[in-house]
Amino acid sequence: MLIAYTEDRKRISLVQGWKIDQLEHLRKEKRFVCPVCKKPVRLKLGTIRRWHFAHIEEARCSVELEAESDYHLHGKEQLYHWLMDQKIHTLLEPYLSSINQRPDLFTFYEGRYYAIEYQCSSIPLPVFEKRTKGYLQEDIHPLWIFGGNRMTRKSSTFFSLSPIEWAALQPHPKMKNILHYFCSDNNQFFSLINIKSLSSQSALSQMITTRANDITFQDLLKPQFLQENSWKDLWLTVKKKWRYNVVLYPSWSQKYFNSYCLQRNFSPYLYPIEAGWPTKHHEWIETPPYIWQTFILIYLSTYPLEARFTFQNVYHFLKELIEKRVCSTRTLPYYDGHYSYAVMSYLQLLINRGVIKRTSSKGYFRVKEIQYPKSINEAIVRDEEFASQIKIN
């Protein structure tokens, strides 16, 4: 940490431009305590790591804190100066006693409080949820900025996100959603926009790189990045990969899916044309879209043409698969909604493509047989035809 108090309650901030001889003298003359737990801390003035305070080994702080790397300490200081240079008054490592939490940075901007968490290490999802909900219950907006060292980039548009990165996903009215990273080594922000879920970790996204000197806090909160107009070619590449993908060590979900398809006399690689598409709210479900949407299509096939079914019928079918852990969902604290929204959006896609229709009593009925391709080549051609008829953005 970069903040501590002397025993006579003088606040010491290591971002205030101290010189080494001043701090060495201060260390000889004073003892330091943690601002939160009031237990003793040690001022470390190494030549390799960033100067910082650290709890003495036997002292345990009342706030859940993970060890801070030099990368984290340096980035936190950079973000602090970045905000202060914009004349945005910012507190460094303040203790919020009402929720027993200490964000890296805290500021009040345009009528709203912001707690900024610069997260460079891995933390359990329950810890992330606890911190996020704690801020929200105090009407404080938590802004998670991940260290650039956490970004796992597979290609220019494919990324791997951890559970807490998915949970930090923030909705955006124009770009669907957004996720921010900051690299303290080169003083740059990286923003992933319009993130589409491919599996529990894999994501399709566009990345925007911006130097800190060229972006403001307002830009970070309400970005106006330009984005590509169409994702169809990229998504078709994803679908083609799913068609050809042979997993050497399939998960329980994949094994169940493969068996489910084979029991119904079709190859899991020749899943229906209507399955495997990104729809609104699909990020609530971390199971690959081609799997959970195929399950729904098979379920709909159990109803004869023109036979009525309801949204609740479909929802409870998927819920059973989730309870069996065949399919899984995500925690999305920033979103109002539920994975049922993804089901509703998918049914709307099927309405738009003339597979099902809606009754006047808010029920549904199937008017078209589900399409199963007979070969991979046929599937790829028909996937392209289907993509040309729907909107992917």
> For the chain, what's the residue count?
393
In tens digits, what is the pLDDT along the chain, a chain of 393 residues? 787 887 777 887 877 777 777 777 777 778 887 877 777 888 887 766 777 778 886 656 766 666 678 788 889 989 999 999 999 999 998 889 889 888 999 999 999 999 999 999 888 999 999 999 999 999 999 999 999 999 999 998 999 999 999 999 998 877 789 999 999 999 999 999 999 999 999 999 999 999 999 999 999 988 776 555 568 889 999 999 999 876 767 888 889 999 999 999 999 999 999 999 999 899 999 999 999 999 999 999 999 999 999 999 999 999 999 999 999 999 899 998 899 999 999 999 999 999 999 987 789 999 999 989 999 999 999 999 999 888 765
Burial of 265 (0-12, 13-18, 19+ CB in 10 A): exposed
103 secondary structure, DSSP code: -
Q: What's the pTM value of the predicted model, to 2 decimals?
A: 0.86
In whole angstroms, what is the distance from residue 92 CA to residue 259 CA?
Answer: 54
Where do the domains of the chain lie?
3-55, 70-227, 233-387
Q: In the CATH scheme, what architecture does the domain 70-227 have?
A: 3-Layer(aba) Sandwich (3.40)
* Residues 6 or more apart in contact with residue 205 via CB below 8 angstroms: 157, 158, 159, 192, 193, 194, 195, 196
CA distances to 54, 296, 306 from 340, rounded to whole Å, are 46, 13, 24
